[in-house]
Structure 1
Amino acid sequence: MKAEFFIARRLKLSGNSESNAPSLNVAMIGIILAIVIMILSVVIVTGFKSEVMHKIYSLDSHLKVSNAGLGIDDNYSTVDAHDVFNAVLGDPTLKPRIESMSLIAEKPAILKTDDDFKGIVYRGVDQYYDWRYLKDNLVAGRVPNCKDGADNREIIISKYMAQQLQLHVGDKIFTYFIDNKVKMRRSIIVGIYNTDFDAFDQTYIVGNISLLQSVNNWSSFTGNYVGINLNQLGSLDNDCYRVYTDLCKSMVAHNSPTLYQVTQIKNNNVSYFTWLGMLDMNVAIILILMIIVSSFTLIAALLMIVLERIKMVGMLKAMGATNRSISRIFIYLTSKLIVKSVIIGNVVGIGLALLQQHFHIVRLNADAYYMSYVPISIDIPTLLLLNVGIIVISYLTLLAPSHIVSTIKPTSTMQFE
């Protein structure tokens, strides 16, 4: 056993250790609070980003195949489902990556009751549409039946719209579509959803695409775009390029005059992903501030330990101990403070995170934050990396102030009380 470690261990076992000093206990509490704040910052922001991204990926298509024409009106911005489905599903390397494909049409409209009205976007979908997220967020009723031949009057509306227009499941409502002339359709509300995502809840009702096809005088295989959802999101750019390549090959092979474009969800929702990216900067600022606070606390703790043992430093120097050896003794002593702080900080931080994750104790205003409670995402590798960083930075912080012992002279310490 090295002499430095032996001396530090004996000092800890002597009963007059640094843990008995109230000032050092305060220092340890400061470090623990910094660690708790860092852990909670990471798990909360990670959870918030994960929850918002899950909403975006669930409510919008991962890839959209649309007409690259001028888009002067609906008839100039349509796609043929047969062309797109055959081109994409005919690629044997791409097909296994596709979770669902759906022909979708969207059109602005007005919902009108006897007493009120609201502007909305009618999203018409076919039988292959992925309803899972909306089903999970239904507060009443069911999703529409969008199979061929089904009643195309069925729609679901958001809880926000239902409250604003005082509507319930089973109510019938007039939907007005305005082109060159007003076209009216009567819809039946079969379900009410609530995603807490204002951009969707305040805008969209969802129903059978055949209703919009009849309004626009389209065929049964015509829509505004084909939505493609993937089972893996790690290579969106590559999959987007492959879909576009398949469509170009199909267009050339069939001498098709239609030029398609393929866009991915990150480009279709730039503002949201930019905003989520800025949250990482906020976390980085919090981590830097907490590291600075804990570093100053550690330096102060080390200085207090040195001052408590200043006579011992003089005696060790008089006995021939080097400054480096004495510095190691104090680093070993302070390491106890670091280890205890990290352990307690992790127990408290992760404990609070688990309580919030399971019981949703802290609530949020869903209108402002897109969710009704503070989300938590505990990623073990991230927390391990955070703890390793805390420990490494803590020990690096101790290197400079530990050399204060080099300024202590044996002759002067004999008179120090």
Structure 2
Amino acid sequence: MGFTWFISKRIAFSKGNKKNLSQIIIRIGQTAVAIGIIVSVITLAIGLGSKKAIKQKMADFNGHITIRSYDSNNSFNSSRLNKKSVQLNHIKENGEVSKIQEYATKSGVIRTQTSFAGVILKGVSSDFDRDRFEKFMVKGSIPQYSVNEISNEVIMSEKIAKELNLDINSSFIMFFVKENQDPVYRRFILKGLFRTDIKQIDDVFLIGDIQHIQKLNKWNREDIGGYDIYIKDIEDLDSVFNNIEEFVGYNNFAEKATTTFSQINDWIQIFDTNILIILTIMMVVVVINIIMVLLILIIERTNSIGMLKTLGASNRKIRKIFINYTLFIMLPGLIIGNIIAIVLLYIQKYFEIIKLNPENYYVSTVPVYINFFHILIISGSALLISGLVLLIPSYLISKITPIKAIKFQ
């Protein structure tokens, strides 16, 4: 064990240290470190958790990646996908792909006795991932669709149902307008209500049997509007997308969920800036408080510095002693701050105490993403930055001479 390290530990963990007049200042410094760590860890966990939760919601409805025809463009009405050119086997071989399902969309109008609403029917088939969609359900059940018979059962957003005064098992008429043709009517039965908290979805979508759209478009049973592709981790979206894009084929294109809902994605990208600003401010607060503690320690132990110099200790070694000592002081604040932050995050994660307005934030509760590697980086960065910054005020030690130390006494 080195001389400086040994002396630093003896000073830091000495029982007599508790009687120092500077103990109050030290406690204030430790409290500031703890608060800085708590705010930093919670900010990062909530910021990343919000980004992940919102992106996941967008993807769980439309798929993380969507393949459709160029002819569809941005239209709500699907054009026939060129299925033969899609190399589906290669896409399925990607280890990050967890699910692929068919879909098609068709715009129409729902009319009731008292109201009407323009909506989009998203047609799905027997491969519809009902388990994934279950978390969005607020009432009723998800119909089971089959290739053997056409189903008139649908689910729609809770918001649309309220506007149209519809409830479970209600029947309603939806008509589809075709160019230069009379409107085509279809009667549906409402079997369930869902809520995603994403306005662009809840305002317009209902889900039904894809066979209705195939008949309306005069397609064959094999014809579809596109594929919804789900991957295992939303954070791998960009890399998986680059791989899948190679296999979409002629006259088709792939689109990420973050591109489909570009306005929402642009909004959540601001989180990165906010997180960086808060982390920077908290780190500055921690560093300033630690510098204050070091300066007080130097003033208080001027006599000790003079004695060490008299015994032959160099300025460099004495500076290292005080820097190590100050970092030891930080440790209780780091440990306590991390423990409090982690406890608060787990309480929010499992009990969802803090609620949000989903119309403004796209989620109904504050989401958290707890990553212990991130927590370790924050604590390590605080120690490293403080250690480097402390080099500047520690140079005051070189100005103290044994004669001045004796006069100070």
In the superposition, the TM-score normalised over structure 1's length comes to: 0.87
Specify the code of the residue in structure 2 equivalent to 1:139: V
Q: Which position in structure 1 is the counterpart of 2:330?
A: 338
Q: % of aligned pairs identical?
A: 26
Shift of 1:297: 0.6
Q: 2:357 aligns with which of 351, 365, 368?
A: 365
Counterparts of 1:51 and 1:90, CA distance in 2? 30
Contact 1:64/1:225, CA 8 A, preserved across alignment: yes
Q: Which position in structure 2 is the counterpart of 1:156?
A: 155
Specify the code of the residue in structure 2 equivalent to 1:226: Y
- Report the CA distance shift for 1:262/1:404 in structure 2 as closer, same or farther (over 3 A): same
Counterparts of 2:356 and 2:30, CA distance in 1? 32
Which residues of structure 1 form unaligned runs of 5+?
A: 249-258
Q: Which position in structure 2 is the counterpart of 1:208?
A: 209
Contact 2:175/2:183, CA 8 A, preserved across alignment: yes
Contact 1:80/1:221, CA 8 A, preserved across alignment: no
Q: Which position in structure 2 is the counterpart of 1:255?
A: none
Counterparts of 1:280 and 1:74, CA distance in 2? 32
Specify the code of the residue in structure 2 equivalent to 1:109: G
Counterparts of 1:136 and 1:76, CA distance in 2? 26
Q: Which position in structure 2 is the counterpart of 1:23?
A: 25
- Report the CA distance shift for 1:225/1:3 in structure 2 as closer, same or farther (over 3 A): closer
Shift of 1:97: 6.0
Whether 1:323 and 2:315 are equivalent positions in the alignment is yes
Specify the code of the residue in structure 1 equivalent to 2:156: I
Contact 2:91/2:97, CA 8 A, preserved across alignment: no
Counterparts of 1:124 and 1:346, CA distance in 2? 48
Contact 1:175/1:187, CA 8 A, preserved across alignment: yes
Shift of 1:295: 0.6
SS at match of 2:151: coil
Whether 1:402 and 2:373 are equivalent positions in the alignment is no
Shift of 1:350: 0.9
Contact 2:109/2:119, CA 8 A, preserved across alignment: yes
Q: Which position in structure 2 is the counterpart of 1:187?
A: 188
Q: Deviations over 1:317-354 (max 9, x none)?
A: 23332211221221232122111111111111111111
Counterparts of 1:370 and 1:130, CA distance in 2? 22
SS at match of 1:217: coil
Shift of 1:44: 0.8
Contact 1:19/1:25, CA 8 A, preserved across alignment: no
Q: Deviations over 1:188-235 (max 9, x none)?
A: 101111222222112210001122223333332333323333456633
Whether 1:121 and 2:128 are equivalent positions in the alignment is no
Contact 2:102/2:125, CA 8 A, preserved across alignment: yes
Q: Which position in structure 1 is the counterpart of 2:4?
A: 4
Q: Which position in structure 2 is the counterpart of 1:289?
A: 281
SS at match of 1:196: coil
Contact 2:154/2:207, CA 8 A, preserved across alignment: yes
Q: 1:350 aligns with which of 342, 353, 360?
A: 342
In the superposition, the TM-score normalised over structure 2's length comes to: 0.89
Contact 2:175/2:186, CA 8 A, preserved across alignment: yes
Counterparts of 1:74 and 1:138, CA distance in 2? 23
- Judge which range, 144-153 or 345-354, deviates more: 144-153
